[in-house]
Amino acid sequence: MNSFEINKILGAIVLAVVTALAAGFIGGFLVKPEMLDTDVVPISGGNGVVIAKKTGPDPIMHLIATADITQGQKIAKACMACHDFSQGGPNKTGPNQWGIVGDDIAAKASFNYSDALKALEGKWDYDELNHFLWKPKKHAPGTKMTYNGLRKPEDRAAVIAWLRQQGSSSYPLPTAAQIEDEKQRLAPPPPPPAEEPATAE
């Protein structure tokens, strides 16, 4: 290969490099990208809205009158290893639960309740049962009960409706005023205001 051919090859390479650099410079001058104020595709959780942390159960009183009692009995089968639900039945690991709805908390003299249950005051009304069945260990820290609870309000309402039929059928169903009061008390807290985005000076 003579020097003339080598010079042609080198010239072609230099021309290609110069052309590429020139194209990049001109393109950058003509096209100036701008940042968008918002995402083209919304990102979940990235819109500045802070979701308030859940601190209590959802209301269930409005569900009890029409709850699926058969479903409640099915769910309650998980409790039967530790509780008896028959009239005059024995205590097991946990106390007999016949007539529990509306009964005084920790009221059976034949059972040795934990200090956590003894510390609770009042009766096993719909509100107490809702909180306890939601998260027993949260509602009564130190309870001997190992059950983790029922997350779905429909499941808690079904179990409570079934329990009401086990010796507590005379206990009145929630009134409209009680239902509304529960909804107000257990309404989720409003989320804190989102931080205002910084503006360019």
Instruction: Return the bridge partners of 123, or none.
Output: 104
- What is the model's pLDDT at position 100? 97
- Whole-prediction pTM: 0.70
- For residue 160, what are the contacts with CB-CB under 8 A and spacing of at least 6? 60, 64, 67, 72, 101, 126, 129, 130, 133
Q: What is the dihedral of CA 145, 146, 151, 154, to 10 degrees?
A: -50
In the predicted structure, residue 20 carries a pLDDT above the cut 80? no
67-81 pLDDT per residue, tens: 999 999 999 999 999
